[in-house]
Structure 1
C-alpha cells in the first residue's frame, strides 16, 4: 500500500499529464486509476501507438492472405505510381523496411505544412520515399512515411483501414472507434490537438486513415490490445492474429542508437530477456507488455512536450508493485 501511495504521489508531481493507468497480471486487472478528471469512458489521442496498431493490422492482412510477404517491394502495391526518372532507391524499398523504420527519405526534417496541405497523404509520402539515404539504416519517421502502410492495407483489402480494423480487431475485442476525423484546414487540425476526449481516427481527404498518429482509444482498449499480444493473439478462445506474427514483430530487427532501444515491426523492444516490448506515443501514451512477468500496463496521457519517460515509471514503480501478485 505504501508503494502504491508513493507511486501516485510521483504521478501527481512528475507525470501530471497522465489520464489513466491500467495494470493487468495474468489477464486480471490489478490496478485501474484515473487522473485529471478522466473516467473509464475517456478517449485519448495515442499518437505513435497508432503505428503498433497498424503493425497488428498488417499481421492480420498477412494471416488472411491479403498481403503475401513483408519482403514485397512497396511499389508493387502502387502500380499506378509514377517513379521520377533516375530514382532507384524507392524501387528497392520493401514492406519490411517500412515496418522496421529502415527506409530512407528525401527530407532532413519532416515537411509537415506541405504534407498536411495535400489531399492524398499516401502519395505525398511516396514522393518523399527514397533519395540518397541507405536502406537498412534506422530512421524513425513519426508522421510522414507510415501512411504508406495504410495505403497498402487499403489497396490489398479493398476496405478502409478503420473498416478492416473494426471487422478483424476492434469489434472482436469490444473496442469502438467512432469514425473518421478529417481536417479541412490547418486551424481545424491545431484545434483538434488541444481538445480532450476526442474520438475516431484521423484520415486524409481521400479517406485513408493515418498510420503514424491520429487514433483515439480508451485506456481499457489499450489494455485489451496489450493482453491480446500477451496471450499470443488469442481472445476469448479465438485466434485473432497469429502468434508467429506477434513473436516476429516484437523481436529486434533494427536499433535506434539515439534512444538506445531496439525496434521490431512498429513495436519498441524494451527487454529481450523478459520479452518486454511496448507501443509508445507522444506525450507518454504506452501499451507495455512483459511476457515473462505476464504483465500489461496501459498508460493514457494528454499531450505535453518532453513528457517524462514512462518506461522509468513502469520499471521502477509499477512492475515491482505487481510482479509478485498472483
Structure 2
C-alpha cells in the first residue's frame, strides 16, 4: 500500500508547521505588515508596560504546565504582546466554550437597543406553543434578565436535560424543567439559560444568533470566518460552541473596554456595556477564600466579575477575554487547562503589575528576550524516539480489528523519513492522518471531533477539521501518536502496541488525560493481514 506524492501533499494541505512567524516580527515593523481589520501593534514599553512581566507570565504558565494555546495582550488599544504555542497559530479559530456566552449577551443588548424586547419580558411570552400544560409560578415569573444573570431559579444546570431529553425541541425541554427557586434570587451556572437567549433572538429576528450578530458585531469588528454549534433544530447553542480567532477575542474585549465603541463608531450602547458587566448576583465559588477566587466576585449578564476591578468572559479549560478598565488593558487567552484559576493568578501576578502610570524606559535586552520567547512557543511533541527497528517491519502492514463499538475494522501504517501515515477504516470509510516524526504535520481530517468535546453538538456543515499530528516510539514495540484538533481546545493520544502479528490500539482524549480518568472508548485488538 503506497501513499503517492500527490495524495500526500493534498492531505497535508496546510503544510508543515512554521513556528512563530507572526510573533517574531519586531514591533517596529508592525505598521507596514498589518492586514485589513487587524489591531495596531506596539511595544509594551511604548504603551507604559514592561516586557519582563509578559515574559515572566509565559515562563510561569509553561512551568505550571497549564497548556496555553495562545496569548494576546492589549494596552491602550494596541497589541503589545502575542504568541501561539505551536501547533496553534494566529489564523486558526478556536472553540470558546462558555466565552461564547458573552457574545450571546451582546446579541440581547442589540435586541434591547432595537426595541425587540426588554430584559423584564417573561421567558414564556416568547414561546407560548412550547410551554408546559401547567406553568408554575416560578416559571411564569422567569424573565430575560434571569437568563442573563444565571438566576433562572433552577437548582442545577439544565444543559444535560436538554441534550438527554430525547426531543429535538430543546426550548420545550427547558420550559418543562422544574424551577425550584424564585427567579432572580438563586445563582446556578446554567448553559441552558444562555441557549434560551439564542432561541429568543432566533424567534424575534427569524435569524440564527450567528446571522443576527454578523452585521451588528462581527462585521464592524472585522471578525470573519466565524461558526457556531447548533442544536438538533439548527438553533445556535448560545452558551457554548462559538469559534473565532485569538485576535477576535481581543477585539471583542476592546469593544467592551471602550464601552461599546470601536474604531470611533458606536456599536453597542454604553449603558448596555455598563449593565452587562456589573455584578447582578453573587456567584458561587469553590472552597477557596473569596479574596483568592475569581469565581466569587459576582456575575453580570454572561460576564464574570474579577478581582482587581476587572471583568471577563470565560470558557471551560481556560478560554479568556479579560478586561481591565483601570489599566486600559485586555488579555485574550486560549488553552486547555485543568486549573483555570492558576492562569488568572499568573495574569494578576505577572502582567497586571507591569502597567505603570508613567513612561517605561525600553530595555532592548528584555524586549528581545520576550519576542524570542513568544516567537518560539511550542507544546511538547509526543515523547519518545522518531525511529525504531520495528518501523521497517510494520511499514505497509494492515491489521484487521476485532468487532468493536467504534466500528473500526482495519488500520494500517506507512513509515517514511520524517512521517508516518496512519490509515483507519470504519463504517464511514477510510480516514488518513499524517504524523510528523520529530515535528508536527498539519493537515485536514474527516475524523469526527465529537468524542473529544465536553458537549456533543456539531458545527453545521463541517465535514473536515484541521489537525496537527506527530508520533514517536515510546518504547521498542509501542508507537504513540498525538493528534491535536487545532480549531478545538482538544487533542487525543493513540497508542499502538505491536506484539508479533498482534496489535492493540488505545485512544485517550485530552479530557481524560487532564482529569486522570479512563477514556470511555474500548482498547481495540487486531491481527496482521497476511
- From 189, 193, 196, the equivalent of 1:148 is 196
SS in 1 for 2:189: coil
Displacement of 1:12: 1.2
In the alignment, does 2:282 pair up with 1:241?
Answer: no
Label 1:138 to 1:219 Cα distance change in 2 as closer, same or farther (>3 A): farther
Label 1:92 to 1:141 Cα distance change in 2 as closer, same or farther (>3 A): same
Label 1:108 to 1:220 Cα distance change in 2 as closer, same or farther (>3 A): closer
Label 1:294 to 1:15 Cα distance change in 2 as closer, same or farther (>3 A): farther
Label 1:220 to 1:35 Cα distance change in 2 as closer, same or farther (>3 A): same
Aligned equivalents of 2:155 and 2:305: distance in 1?
A: 27
Aligned equivalents of 2:185 and 2:65: distance in 1?
A: 33
Aligned equivalents of 1:252 and 1:147: distance in 2?
A: 21
Q: Of the two structures, which has the highest relative contact order with CA contacts closer than 8 Å and spacing of 6 or more?
A: 1
In the alignment, does 2:356 pair up with 1:312?
Answer: no
* Structure 2 partner of 1:290: 324
Displacement of 1:91: 0.7
Unaligned runs of 5+ in 2: 1-50, 286-294, 360-530
* Structure 1 partner of 2:297: 261
User: Counterparts in 2 of 1:1-326, with a 5 A limit?
Assistant: 1-67=51-117, 69-85=118-134, 87-105=136-154, 111=160, 114-115=163-164, 117-128=166-177, 130-178=178-226, 200-258=227-285, 259-271=295-307, 275-302=309-336, 304-324=337-357
Aligned equivalents of 1:115 and 1:143: distance in 2?
A: 14
Displacement of 1:256: 1.0
Number of residue-to-residue matches in the alignment = 300
Aligned equivalents of 1:280 and 1:205: distance in 2?
A: 25
* Structure 1 partner of 2:428: none
Aligned equivalents of 2:161 and 2:135: distance in 1?
A: 26
Unaligned runs of 5+ in 1: 179-199
SS in 1 for 2:72: strand
Aligned equivalents of 2:70 and 2:358: distance in 1?
A: 21
Higher mean displacement: 35-44 or 239-248: 35-44
Label 1:131 to 1:3 Cα distance change in 2 as closer, same or farther (>3 A): closer
Label 1:109 to 1:123 Cα distance change in 2 as closer, same or farther (>3 A): closer
What is the aligned-residue RMSD (CA, Å)?
2.2
Aligned equivalents of 1:285 and 1:205: distance in 2?
A: 25
Structure number with the higher strand fraction is: 2
Asked if structure 2 preserves the Cα contact closer than 8 Å seen for 1:18 and 1:36, the reply is no
Asked if structure 1 preserves the Cα contact closer than 8 Å seen for 2:109 and 2:268, the reply is yes
Aligned equivalents of 1:108 and 1:150: distance in 2?
A: 17
Displacement of 1:37: 2.1
Would you identify which runs of 4 or more consecutive aligned residues in structure 1 move more than 6 Å? none
Asked if structure 2 preserves the Cα contact closer than 8 Å seen for 1:101 and 1:139, the reply is yes
Higher mean displacement: 307-316 or 255-264: 307-316
Deviations 1:161-214 (A, max 9, x none): 110011111111111244xxxxxxxxxxxxxxxxxxxxx210112110011111
Label 1:109 to 1:60 Cα distance change in 2 as closer, same or farther (>3 A): closer
Structure number with the higher helix fraction is: 1
Label 1:243 to 1:15 Cα distance change in 2 as closer, same or farther (>3 A): farther
